[in-house]
Chains A and B, each alone.
Chain A
Amino acid sequence: MKKFIKYCLYFVLPILIAAIPLEYMIRQIPNPYKYKYEWMQNNAEDVEILILGSSQAMYGIRPDYMAGKAFNLAFESQVVAYDYFLVKKFSSKYKKLKTIILPISYFTLFYRFEDLDSWWKCRYHHIYMDCNYHPYSLKYNFELSHYPSAMKKLKSYIGRTLRNQNHNIIDKYGWGNTYLFSKRNTHDITDTQKVLSTIKWQTANDWTHIDEIVSSLNNIINFCKSNHIDLFLITPPAWHTYYDNLDIRQYTKMHQLIDSVRLANDLQYFDYLKDKRFTFDDFYDNSHLNEEGAIKFTKILDEDIRSTKKSK
């Protein structure tokens, strides 16, 4: 037994020795989480409009086209509990914050981040943004705990460095600038099979976490109320191949939940999902806007928010 343990330790030791600098190296790679966290640490007091949500908001809302100093704090797959974490994280710093835009996508109210296939993205909130939802979990606090994504990140960084390419995938106000019209594959928009596979993972079989998720939403609402911040719930636009194929049961439930929260708290909700003003050229794929679509959407959204505020 002692021999076995001794050799196991000898075997694991070089791996551990290699893992520590590797973890360190990967953490040094510039990434949106690190950038947005640092930006908020330094500039949160100047922010007037805060944009939360998932990839639809990260790539679809451009803060530089909004009237007022806005910042996009949305991340891929981010759901309500993590939106709440971010709102709270910088709560002591806000001085001018007047508006929070909280996108509710088709899957937002049905999934916890930890249960998504892309759960590993939520560890970035822990590693780079000081999130304390799982303080003692190795799974959520190390880059190497999900080595395929860690290795992909490292390989991509090395590749970009060798090709002398830019490492930034967001602009200075947090908008994700990689979903470009020139880089899109129209197949991603029109192909029904591709849409169905996207919708498949976004459609939850298990609705047991709805109460927990709505409770996080209520926390954001209460925070906004107590700090006199206007909260706007929105559903970003998508191409018809996407919304035509949504699971009607989940879609109806999503609206029921939004309506109950909206009516109980006198909130504004803008549903752009099926908005006909967005054309084929505005999309990057079936549910995400490209850079031009993002400008168009931001202008429409900004106008709607301003006119709502005026009418109050």
Chain B
Amino acid sequence: MLFNSFEFLVFLPIVFLLYWFGFRQRRWQNLLVVVASYIFYGWWDWRFLMLIALTSLCSYGSGLLLEHYDGRRRIQQIVSAANIVLNLGILGVFKYYNFFIENLNILLGGANFHLDWVTINVILPVGISFYTFQALSYTIDVYQKKLPATHDIVEFFAYISFFPQLVAGPIERATNLLPQFQQKRKFDYVKAVDGMRQMLWGFLKKLVIADNCATAVNEYWDHYQELPCISLFLMGVLFTFQIYCDFSGYSDIAIGSARLFGFNLMRNFNFPYFSRSIPEFWRRWHISLTTWFRDYIYFPLGGSRCNKWKIIRNVFIVWGISGLWHGANWTFVCWGLFHAALLAIYNIFGINTKHEHVVAYGRLLPSLKETLQITLTFFLAVIGWIIFRAESMTQVVEYFTAMVSNRFFDASALHGKTYLCFGLALLTVEWLQRDKQHALQFSDVKPFNYRLVRWSIYYTILLIIAFYAGTSQTFIYFQF
């Protein structure tokens, strides 16, 4: 089931009412979450419910075994490793098997040895990378004694399959979400209202900006041979808006709907396009994934507590894996390595500053220096997204070649200008609200204390959605 579907509009209120009125006890509420989540997921393809159940069962069992063999480190290592291998094995078969075989085939092609016959025709289950990582985080945390193993299978299944964040994150940590399933939930009016606002903002981003930008990008992206340089860059900018509004819009809807049920999911986006550097960008973009890689791969590799060259090595390892996580295509690996190279450069030159506050804190406008930093970061992000959007490495090379070799400007070929304006308008609103959790969190601003003003804004947003929503597109991150 998609958030931007009619079914979800019916599904959410039903589950909400059942949750707060039908099942007041915590355990029953957890059971309802599991059932609702499996319906939510099964709506897309019920066959893959088995896969989530298997992943959940393995991680649950591993947790119990880790607890049972407490003190016997060797057995715990085997259990933990077996669980990681199994989960990554499932992910590998569904997501990377054909990619691996195809590349092996190319490699062995020179020796006249072909492996075409071993490719398999499988559909990639939606959100497999997300829930696999969430399941892995639980067993690793139990292994590292950050968390006791849970004995309640229902609450564990609810943790893995919690429908708001099941298919595209935020990738929750067991240390944050699981205890919430273990506590009695109380309805919080303020939290629920804020959740609704966040959902509304998410829908606006997804339906108006992302879907419209997608239409323009999908139509003109492949015409890179003919389009002038400026138009090709504009396509890159539109895709930059599209992916941000698509993914952060999804996260806003996920976090907002979780709040309706009394849960606090971790923040996934923190206005990343206002970042002053690439390291800051990655502290603000897909936070749940970057922190996952940081905690479970980067830190165990030594993190930043080693010499400069090892730090750079670690960065490249993490970003190579991160690229591959996004999809079985060399373009994603290249995108990951591009960002690794940028992070390494920032690291070498020591401009990896952790800013305490958002940009232009306490001011309306940024300074000239900040403006230049934000512009450079945005430009680098656009370059990265062009690599990410391309369908093959050949297209990456041809696209960039066309950007420098095609004519520079042609006013008649500036497609998608309107959507660019939409995107800029959205960024303007987000700029004004950049120190908040989301753009509609305006309870401390005077005129918005009046319900009439607030509701007028909500209705205006709904009208904008009704009149300017683009052709419905699936969420980009579903494919990951």
Contacts and interface: CB of A to CB of B under 8 A. Distances in A.
- Closest 3 interchain pairs by CB? A193-B222, A145-B6, A139-B6
Contact of B469 (A11, A145, A148): A148
B193 interface: yes
B450 interface: no
A304 B187 CA distance: 71
B43 to A, nearest CB: 11
B459 to A, nearest CB: 8
16 contacts: A4-B189, A4-B192, A8-B196, A11-B458, A15-B462, A138-B10, A142-B6, A146-B6, A146-B472, A147-B469, A151-B466, A151-B467, A151-B469, A193-B223, A197-B218, A206-B123
B123 A205 contact: yes
Contacts of A145: 6
A148 B470 contact: yes
B17 to A, nearest CB: 8
Nearest to A148: B469
Consensus secondary structure, chain A interface: helix
Interface string B440-480: 00000000000000010011001000110111100000000
Interface string A136-176: 00110010011110010000000000000000000000000
Contact of A139 (B7, B121, B223, B466): B7
Interface of A: 1, 3-4, 7-8, 11, 14-15, 138-139, 142, 145-148, 151, 191, 193, 196-197, 205-206
A205 B121 contact: yes
A196 B223 CA distance: 12
Contact of A147 (B10, B20, B459, B466): B466
A139 B469 CA distance: 17
A20 to B, nearest CB: 15
A8 B9 CA distance: 13
Nearest to B13: A8
B462 A3 contact: no
A146 B7 CA distance: 11
Contacts of B466: 147, 151
Contacts of B20: 1
A148 B6 contact: no
B412 interface: no
B5 interface: yes
Given A139-B6, A148-B472, A197 B222 contact: yes
Nearest to A194: B222
A13 to B, nearest CB: 12
Interface in B1-58: 5-7, 10, 20
Nearest to A147: B466
B207 to A, nearest CB: 8
Interface of B is mostly: helix
Contact of A196 (B193, B222, B455): B222
Contacts, number: 42
Contact of B189 (A3, A142, A197): A3
Nearest to A192: B222
B6 A4 contact: no
Contacts of B6: 138-139, 142, 145-146
Contacts of B187: 1, 4
Nearest to B469: A148
B455 A11 contact: yes
A197 B20 CA distance: 46
Contacts of A4: 187, 189, 192-193
Contacts of B222: 193, 196-197
B249 to A, nearest CB: 16
B192 A148 contact: no
Nearest to B20: A1
A250 to B, nearest CB: 12
A8 B17 CA distance: 12
Contact of A148 (B7, B189, B459, B471): B471
Contacts of B193: 4, 7
A206 B123 CA distance: 7
A1 B19 CA distance: 12
Nearest to A22: B466
Contact of B5 (A11, A139, A142, A206): A139
A212 B187 CA distance: 46
Nearest to B9: A138
A17 to B, nearest CB: 12
Contacts of B196: 8
A138 B11 CA distance: 12
Contacts of B469: 147-148, 151
A291 B7 CA distance: 40
Contacts of B121: 205
B309 to A, nearest CB: 44
